[in-house]
Amino acid sequence: MESWREMVAFPLTGRSRKPRTRGLTMVLDKGLGLGETKDLLDIAGDHVDLLKLGFGTSALYGDGILQEKINLVRRYGIDIYPGGTFMEVAIAQGRLLPFLRTARQLGFTAVEVSDGTLFLDAEVRREAIILALENGFKVLTEVGKKHGHPNCLDLARQAKLDIKAGASWVIVEGREFGRDVTVYDGNGRVREELLALFLECVEDQNLIIWEAPLKDQQEELIVRFGPDVNLGNIAPQELLSLEALRVGLRGDTLRRCYQRMV
């Protein structure tokens, strides 16, 4: 039988296929069971590149379940990592190296260095990135605070320093709700001047993962940067909807595709 892809061309072209280093989709997993995870990845695994076990939830799984889940996710060619908040706790308690060793033993393939909740000295942050690299992890960092309004220029400069230290990608904080944080205003709309600051400091936007939990944010960033923009904090149930946006198979981006052609 003829496949859909053979029959209908995707209106929005340029979408990369896995394995890829751009156009990444990072899923925020707040506690999916093993069956739910397998169902999700059977349906949408081709559209997931990174899966984050949010916050400190990695510490709350029952014996053996966490490792089984990590192994399951890795079988689909997806990097899996614990939330940055968990690593913040480890650093604050002087337990970073044991944290990294345990994460490695469990099978995590990446870690996130952040200071969204607890203060992290710049040199400590750089050393954490280097130590994680030395222990065989892909390193993501996150800039932005979960509370308050830090200076976006400072965050953009920190992103540049993180990349210089060896981070593969820098995540721009968007939290779960995507409002009144970093580049988003109180209604969740992109603040143009703050977006520009990040792009001035990090010229290669393929090194930035924009947390964009809201559909309008996803649409705006796809239209601005193309289908291969890196997006994070995507809810599991929104994976296929996001991929439809990326390739022009959802009305929001489809309409814009054909408006450009007229």
Distances (CA, A) of 91 to 99, 126, 146, 224, 227: 9, 12, 18, 37, 36
Residue 214 CA, chain-centre distance (Å), reads 14
Return the SS3 of 11: coil
Q: What is the C-alpha to C-alpha distance for residues 242 and 249, in angstroms, rounded to an integer?
A: 10
Q: Smallest Cα–Cα separation from 130: which of 145, 111, 144? A: 111
Q: pLDDT at position 261, please?
A: 52
- 3-state class (DSSP) for residue 80: strand
| Residues 6+ away with beta carbon under 8 Å from 102 | none
| pTM tops 0.85, yes or no | yes
In this model, does residue 244 exceed pLDDT 90?
yes
For residue 42, the one-letter residue type is D
How far apart, in whole angstroms, are the C-alpha atoms of residue 23 and residue 253?
Answer: 16
Lowest-pLDDT range of 44-53, 150-159, 160-169, 213-222: 150-159
Report the distance separating Cα 259 and Cα 262, nearest Å.
5
The residues pairing with 210 across neighbouring beta strands, listed in sequence order, are: 172, 231
Domains and CATH numbers, the chain: 4-261 (3.20.20.70)
Q: Is the pLDDT of residue 172 over 90?
A: yes
Taking CA atoms, 10 is separated from 15, 124, 174, 246, 257, in Å, by 9, 46, 29, 10, 10
Residue listed under structure tokens 């993962």: 209
Q: Place 262 in a pLDDT band, splitting at 50, 70 and 90.
A: very low
Q: Is 6 exposed, middle or buried (0-12, 13-18, 19+ CB in 10 A)?
A: exposed
pLDDT of residue 188: 92
Choose the weakest-confidence range: 79-88, 107-116, 178-187, 242-251: 178-187
The CA–CA distances, whole Å, from 164 to 124, 141, 145, 161 equal 15, 12, 21, 5
Beta-sheet strands, E only, within 24-136 = 25-29, 50-53, 79-82, 110-113
C-alpha distances (whole Å) from 187 to each of 137, 191, 197, 205, 231 are 36, 10, 20, 24, 19
Paired tokens of 42: 């059977």
pLDDT at 24 over 60: yes
